[in-house]
Amino acid sequence: MSTYELVADLPVHIEDYALEGLVRDVSSDFTRKSTVIHLHGAGEEGIGEDVVYEPVDHEIAQRAGPVLALAGEWTIRSFSEHLATLELFPEPAQRDVSPLYRTWAYESAALDLALRQAGEPLHAVLGRESRPVTFVVSLRLGEPPSLEPVTRRLERYPSLRFKLDPTSSWDEELIGALVRTGAVDSVDFKGLYVGSIVDQDADPVLYRRVIEAFPDAWLEDPKLTPEIDEMLAPHRGRITWDANIHSIADIESLPFAPRMVNLKPSRLGGIKALFDAYDYTAEHGIGAYGGGQFELGPGRGQIQYLASLFHPDTPNDTSPSGFHAVDPEPGLPASPLPPAPSTTGFRWG
């Protein structure tokens, strides 16, 4: 039986729902907005988090309120099929990928509600053990780049590990200082983004500096121009993919068989797509790690929960959201996160 089949026929009774807006500054130049979905039924509540990136998409949905026809008697499978027939955005989404993110929000809320109505936690239904979750903290170093965001966190949390976004402004002095921290596990070249605030050109000088300076780091989302593809050929075992992974078909269409991929639940867009991808990577000997989308609410715990079940020992980009504050407060949990699944539902902590 596939992983999805273990949850597909769970019944879920939905009476109504509500939307809750969240907002937080997560860097010096990025204010994050998200929307928590609250599904209600049979005296229980299921929650999920919509992590579309454009603030206007949240504002429009929150103003419109709970206008979707979600009430009824469903299974996880039939709810997903029904959701696919609905227009989830009152006005066209700002980004093509955003409907996947919103679909995940509603489906994860439905899964949480179904499990709570059944009185079961996700790990019990899947027959899996929740294990400690290794995580990295994802950071950009600003422009002009500075070592300070890394050192500030290491002063408070000396064992912290990082996933960093290199840019063409990284010089050899900065790279050398980062090497001396010994704390860089992954670098994300952001080579597959177009028209975003994190776009990074395919800069051969930057690529060569980074791959030589960090010989053991994972190399995420390089832009494979002919020159860079040749440069990276000896390092293919370290290359991972993220921004282009929305389905199993995307994994199968990669330019070479991957050793590791980033399976972001919201980017896969639904429970079936995600669970099928977990099964596919396991069957084909492909490693996986989880990735977040600057979740502000329950979505962060849900991706940590999934990481604890499917890939707890990989460089999961699922750090507690407090680490994304401009100045992280003391007392945040260290890696690995101890298992913290709720006694019922799809919740962490």
What b-and-e string marks burial along 166-188, b requiring 16 or more CB atoms within 10 Å of the CB? bbeebeeebbeebeeeebbbbbb
Residue-level pLDDT at 324? 84
Is the pLDDT confidence value at 184 over 70? yes
Cα 295 to Cα 23, 26, 75: the distances in Å are 10, 10, 27
Residue-level pLDDT at 321? 87
Region 225-248 average pLDDT: 96
Rounded CA-CA distance 290/311 in Å is: 8
Residue-level pLDDT at 202? 86
Region 271-275 average pLDDT: 98
Q: Domains in the chain, ordered, with CATH?
A: 5-123 (3.30.390.10), 125-324 (3.20.20.120)
Rounded CA-CA distance 164/326 in Å is: 15
- C-beta separation of 214 from 189 below 8 A: no
Rounded CA-CA distance 7/76 in Å is: 7
Rg (CA), the chain: 20
Q: How confident is the model at residue 198 (pLDDT cuts 50, 70, 90)?
A: low
Rounded CA-CA distance 343/41 in Å is: 18
Rounded CA-CA distance 189/22 in Å is: 29
Round the average pLDDT of the chain to a whole number and report it: 95
Region 315-326 average pLDDT: 91
Q: How confident is the model at residue 157 (pLDDT cuts 50, 70, 90)?
A: very high
Residue-level pLDDT at 343? 97
Q: How confident is the model at residue 3 (pLDDT cuts 50, 70, 90)?
A: very high
Is the pLDDT confidence value at 136 over 70? yes
Residue-level pLDDT at 201? 82
- C-beta separation of 104 from 270 below 8 A: yes
Give the torsion through C-alpha atoms of 63, 24, 298, 56, to 10 deg: 30
- C-beta separation of 239 from 210 below 8 A: no
pLDDT tens digits, residue range 11-20?
A: 999 999 999 9
Q: How confident is the model at residue 28 (pLDDT cuts 50, 70, 90)?
A: low
Task: For residue 12, report the phi and psi dihedrals to the nearest 5 degrees.
Answer: -145, 125
Q: Is the dihedral of CA 57, 62, 64, 67 positive or negative?
A: positive
pLDDT tens digits, residue range 73-113?
A: 999 999 999 999 999 999 999 999 999 999 999 999 999 99
**What proportion of the chain, given as a percentage, has pLDDT over 90?**
91
Kind and range of the H or E run holding 248: helix 248-252
Kind and range of the H or E run holding 301: helix 298-310
119 CB neighbour count, 10 Å cutoff: 11
**What proportion of the chain, given as a percentage, has pLDDT over 70?**
97
Residue-level pLDDT at 225? 95
Query: The pTM is what?
Result: 0.96
Instruction: Classify 240 as helix, strand or coil.
Output: strand
Kind and range of the H or E run holding 73: strand 72-75
Q: How confident is the model at residue 26 (pLDDT cuts 50, 70, 90)?
A: confident
Q: How confident is the model at residue 326 (pLDDT cuts 50, 70, 90)?
A: confident
Residues whose CB falls within 8 Å of the CB of residue 88, separated by 6 or more in sequence, listed in order = 68, 99, 102, 103, 106
What is the CA 189 to chain-centroid distance, rounded?
17
